[in-house]
């Protein structure tokens, strides 16, 4: 892979003296959905698929970007002195956003870069191809310019770029899962404090199978922001009765005792999801530690039900694929993953059942939805690195 990318780099940018190659993973969230902006817990892991960058410093102040995933865009050029969002700069805005956020923190580049990017995470599938590019960019700058910035800060910088430069109000989960990725482990992160713990996901007889509905998120971003504000409003209604800073501070019992402070049914359902999902995530990590995969699977299923009925972020495609998955022999659990409204679902399946699972779920999905789903049997990989 590295050799091929370096050859391609030379074709696009010519031969350079010092060429460096870097990688940052994608992520999948096992449980804890739409809890990260509610001060709750999440349990994602980094994947072995991700985004590669081949980079060389240049002698002017120019940034030259080329993506093997968007070859039709050609070389996109910007100046390091003009880091502003431009629609025509397309995918490079994610990288520019990170450079902008780093500059704001005093990490300023003293020359331009030629950057070739290639990603093997399917775009728009909810496996965080954009957060992967963001963390990758931060890591490239850290390594090439010797900036002293921690991996946690790279996650925060990526989130800041996404929030303030791109304009998507995401939480910290994706960038954190990518920046802090650890082979064979999922990350149990408390988003209120950013304290975290690595939990081994030691699947001997099972595989993680990701199911891509191939339904693009479309209106997802505006619905995402809508869910955030519904939760914020529910929180301020609850704060008239209880002293809390976030929905993640409530147990199920406390929520039930005070839920009528929330004046609309819709907002009450949204808050219920945030509270119960957070508690489910805590229980799921305990179950995994106790080697109780069956309970972990049941909690995954309950998570999907809550995202479908109370949070209303699933939709026909995700519901169809998860329902088909749960009918198969050898499935331990399945749920949508990421923001929802399309994208991917994640399942845990017994090794011997994986082939039939993919065939049967694929057929059932095509029959109902009319187009194909894709399946990836994934491994949990490490964080950003130099290759």
Interface with ligand GLA by CB under 6 A: which residues? 33-34, 36-37, 170-171, 173-174, 338-339
Select 21 or 303, whichever has its Cβ closest to ligand GLA: 303
Minimum CB distance to ligand GLA, residue 32 (Å): 7
Q: Report the nearest approach of ligand GLA to the CB of residue 339 (Å).
A: 4
CB of 27 to ligand GLA, least distance (A): 9
Point out the catalytic residue in the list 36, 153, 174, 310. Answer: 174
Least distance CB 174 / ligand GLA (angstroms)? 5
Closest CB to ligand GLA among 5 and 321?
A: 321
> Is 80 or 127 the residue whose CB approaches ligand GLA more closely?
127
Q: In the complex with ligand GLA, which residue's Cβ is closer, 171 or 384? A: 171
The set of residues, in sequence order, having a beta carbon less than 8 Å from that of 148 and lying 6+ positions away, is none
Minimum CB distance to ligand GLA, residue 133 (Å): 13
Q: Give the gyration radius of the chain's Cα atoms.
A: 21
Active site residue 174: yes
Q: Which one, 112 or 138, has the nearer CB to ligand GLA?
A: 138
Catalytic residues: 174
């Amino acid at each position: 892979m590295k050799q091929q990318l370096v050859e391609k780099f030379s074709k696009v940018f010519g031969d350079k003296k010092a060429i460096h190659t870097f990688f940052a993973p994608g992520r999948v969230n096992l449980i804890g959905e739409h809890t990260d902006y509610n001060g709750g817990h999440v349990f994602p892991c980094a994947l072995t698929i991700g985004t590669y960058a081949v980079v060389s410093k240049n002698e002017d102040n120019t940034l030259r970007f080329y993506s093997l995933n968007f070859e039709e865009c050609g070389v996109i050029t910007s100046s390091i002195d003009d880091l502003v969002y431009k629609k025509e700069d397309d995918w490079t805005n994610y990288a520019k956003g990170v450079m902008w956020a780093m500059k704001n923190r005093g990490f300023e580049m003293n020359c331009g870069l030629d950057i070739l990017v290639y990603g093997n995470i399917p775009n728009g599938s909810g496996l965080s191809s954009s957060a992967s590019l963001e963390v990758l960019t931060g890591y490239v700058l850290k390594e090439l310019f010797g900036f002293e910035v921690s991996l946690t800060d790279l996650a925060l910088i990526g989130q800041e770029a996404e929030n303030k430069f791109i304009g998507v109000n995401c939480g910290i989960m994706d960038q954190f899962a990518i920046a802090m990725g650890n082979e064979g482990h999922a990350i149990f992160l408390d988003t209120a404090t950013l304290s975290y713990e690595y939990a081994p996901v030691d699947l001997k007889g099972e595989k993680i199978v990701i199911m891509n509905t191939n339904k693009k998120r479309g209106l997802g971003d505006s619905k995402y922001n809508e869910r955030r504000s519904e939760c914020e409003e529910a929180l301020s209604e609850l704060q008239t009765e209880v002293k809390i800073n976030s929905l993640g501070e409530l147990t199920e019992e406390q929520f039930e005792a005070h839920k009528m402070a929330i004046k609309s049914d819709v907002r009450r359902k949204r808050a219920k999801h945030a509270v119960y999902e957070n508690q489910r995530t805590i229980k799921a990590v305990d179950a995994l530690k106790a080697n109780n995969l069956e309970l972990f699977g049941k909690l995954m299923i309950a998570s999907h039900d809550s995202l479908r009925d109370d949070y209303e972020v699933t939709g026909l495609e995700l519901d169809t694929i998860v329902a088909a998955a749960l009918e198969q022999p050898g499935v331990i659990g399945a749920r949508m993953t990421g923001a929802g409204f399309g994208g991917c679902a994640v399942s845990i399946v017994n090794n011997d059942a994986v082939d039939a699972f993919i065939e049967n779920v694929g057929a059932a999905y095509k029959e109902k939805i009319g187009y194909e789903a894709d399946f990836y049997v994934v491994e949990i990989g490490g964080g950003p690195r130099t290759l």
